[in-house]
Structure 1
Amino acid sequence: MSRIVGILTGVLMALFPTKFLTTMQNLAVENPDDFVDRRWVVPYVRAEGLVVAVVCLRGGSAYRAFMAFIGAVGAVLLLFPRQYVEFGNRLAYEGSAPFEWRKRYLPGLRVCGAFFLLLAARALRTDDRDE
């Protein structure tokens, strides 16, 4: 099931990177119009989507390595959500105003981090039955 979600998410990111970014920005901050994507962000999201889709489609050792990475990201999100997104946003966006995080965004990232950890643990604990 997680591979199917990964494939679908990757395909959406690859086909609609600008829409994907806009949706994520609107979920995260109150002031998304105060920031401009750096030139490399949209092509990066498209490439990331392709990689995610292909890795999830292939399965095997690449998928297990990807899930280990997802688990590490989940741990960081769970423990340090503000630092994680502020670092990423400084890399990806230009703007002088501080990010005005939506009230439930950072707690939501902690939940997402816990979910990623559980997903990774499940995928790494069991054999890849979907191969």
Structure 2
Amino acid sequence: MFKKLARSLRGHDHWFAEWWSSVLLMAVGIYGFCVPDGFIIQQSFVDGFLQVLPFNLWEVLFIMFGLFQFMALRYESLIGRGIAAFLASSLLIWGTLNIAVYGQWHFSLIGWGIFSAINLYALFRITRGIEQYHEPL
């Protein structure tokens, strides 16, 4: 039983990194809905994020992209995983650059950067054919 579990974990190591990315995206969106805007709005949000879209729309995007990535992982769809990795990395890169340019040093900068790199690496693996899963017919 443990050998099968260990083999599954080794075969799905990148899957787990993408799973954590989907959890991060959903958690950021849910956190934004649960915490009052006055507490969460910082200068980096006002100068960067809010110039493009309203705050609640950003929260919805985080939740939707996180759910999409979670569902693509659940069904082991390479096309879905590729699209989800692209969307997640784009959103996380935007967040990283937004905080770096408009904000000040914040610990979330490291997390956003790491998870954007995880998604870019997943996208690289999928587009280069390194992933071994096949789409169901």
For normalisation by structure 1, the TM-score amounts to: 0.46
Name the structure with the higher helix share. Answer: 2
- Max radius of gyration: which structure? 2
Higher relative contact order (CA 8 A, sep 6+): 1
